[in-house]
Structure 1
Amino acid sequence: MKKIRLTAEQFDGLVSKTRLKEKGIAYARAALVDGRGYSEIANELGIARAEVYQAANIVLKQYEPEGFESHTYTGPAEMFAKIEQIVAKFEGVKIA
C-alpha cells in the first residue's frame, strides 16, 4: 500500500477533527507530513512503532481524498490472505 503524504494544511484540518494530544500530533505529523517512517520516528523517540502508527491512523481515518470510497470488512485472516494473493497475482487489474 502506498504511504499517504499530506500537506501541512491538510494535516491541520484533519487533526482538528481528532482528540489527539500534542505527542500524538507530533508523531502523526512526522509520518504523514514529513514523510518519515514509523520505525524511524519510534526509534528516535524511544517509543513503540505502534504508537506512531496509531497516531497516524487516527488522522488518516479523517482523510477522504476525492473519489475515495472506504469499506470495512470482517472475516477470518485466512480469507484476507487469499484476497491479497489474488490482488498480487492480477496486480490490481479489474478482472470482473
Structure 2
Amino acid sequence: MSGYQYPLRADWTTEEIVAVIDFFSKVEQAYESSVEREEFMKYYRAFKKVVPSMAEEKTLCKEFEESSTYVAFRVVKLAKDSVAGEQLKIK
C-alpha cells in the first residue's frame, strides 16, 4: 500500500470507491513499472462513470498528485495517444 491517501468522496458507494482506487492504482503502476493500454483504459472508463465531470476529474487528479506526486493526466494522455497493445510507462 502507498504512503498516501486516495482522493475519495463520502457520498460514493463502495463500488464507486473501488473504481476510483483502481484507476489511481493503475496510474501508480504506469509510473512504477508499466500498464497495458487497454487495461488502463478499462479502469479509466470505470472512473469516468463515477466522475463524469471534467472539473471533478481535475480536482481529484490534482488531490492525488499533491499526495503522491503522480500526474494522472500524463498517463491518460499517454494512453489516448497510444495504440492497442502498448505498454504505458511514465519515465
Class of the TM-score when normalised by the shorter of the 2 chains: 0.3 to 0.5
TM normalised by structure 2 equals 0.33
Q: Which has the higher helix share?
A: 2
Highest RCO, 1 vs 2 (Cα 8 Å, sep ≥ 6): 2
TM normalised by structure 1 equals 0.32
Q: Which has the higher strand share?
A: 2
Rg (Cα) greater in structure:
1
